[in-house]
Amino acid sequence: MKKKEEFLNTKFSREFYKAKHLSSQYIKQDSKPSLDSIFSSVKTKIKDIPQEIKTKDTVKNNPIMTNSEPITITPLRDADGLSRAYDRESNIYIHGDTIYLAGTTNMQDVWDDVSKVTTNRVAQSAKYKNAAMILEKNPQIKNIVGHSLSGSISVDLQRDFPERNYKIHTYGAPLMKMSGPDNINQKRFRSYLDPVSMFDRGAKSTIQTKEINMHTYDINDEKISDKPYSTYVYRTDE
């Protein structure tokens, strides 16, 4: 039995007992195809696809080949940016490299005004934490504009993140400061009869006649930046 198994495993035996029912054509197809034959087959299949479909699918499905379109964002007046922030549920509006922070709008803010601002713990307020989180996720932001409670928050954000070198404008901030800002990286504004910001003696006071509300932010035509912000958007046309 052992000799029979040895004989069956020899090269002569394998050739002699090759399966006769398999044709030579079938065995040849089972062998590995050459690279030339693969390339030739692929080229043939690609040629069968209409050029219009190939181009459309390539652009649509391949992000690398999707074109982007450059856009330029023009600067806003501080008052216009703050108005948009107040119109949003988040009380935050980002425009290019500037973030606009609305002031007190709900009971949580009122509580923070009473318990955090008066005890110099603005960094513990809900609005501060939310703004800090947004700034962390948007490294392109260089400018902060804040009104009322968010004016104080803007000052603290500038102080707490010196590596970001923020430029800030505040309006009607409830600050207790006798010295004025440098008017380069920080400018503070208030309406002359605004009771909320009455202790910010370093802020520039303006007599405004636009509305009865003395705590308004719409008291000048200041822009925190005059430089357009260049960015891009993905093209949606096909």
Question: Is residue 225 included in any domain, yes or no?
Answer: yes
Q: Indicate the pLDDT class of residue 41, thresholds 50, 70 and 90.
A: low
Pair (59, 79) in one structural domain: no
Question: What tens digit of pLDDT does each residue of 187-224 get?
Answer: 999 999 999 999 999 999 998 877 889 999 999 999 99
Pair (60, 81) in one structural domain: no
Q: What's the pTM value of the predicted model, to 2 decimals?
A: 0.71
Instruction: State percent of the chain over pLDDT 90.
Output: 61
Pair (118, 135) in one structural domain: yes
Instruction: Tally the domains of the chain.
Output: 2
Question: What tens digit of pLDDT does each residue of 83-128 get?
Answer: 999 999 999 999 999 999 999 999 999 999 999 999 999 999 999 9
Domain carrying residue 54: 2-66
Pair (61, 79) in one structural domain: no
Pair (110, 142) in one structural domain: yes
Pair (20, 122) in one structural domain: no
With 90 as the cut, is the pLDDT of residue 35 above it? Answer: no
Pair (58, 84) in one structural domain: no
Question: Is residue 224 included in any domain, yes or no?
Answer: yes
- Select the highest-mean-pLDDT range: 153-162, 201-210, 224-233: 153-162
Question: Is residue 238 included in any domain, yes or no?
Answer: no
Pair (154, 223) in one structural domain: yes
Q: Indicate the pLDDT class of residue 69, thresholds 50, 70 and 90.
A: confident
Question: Is residue 237 included in any domain, yes or no?
Answer: no
Question: How far is 238 from 232, CA to CA, in rounded Å?
Answer: 17
Pair (20, 47) in one structural domain: yes
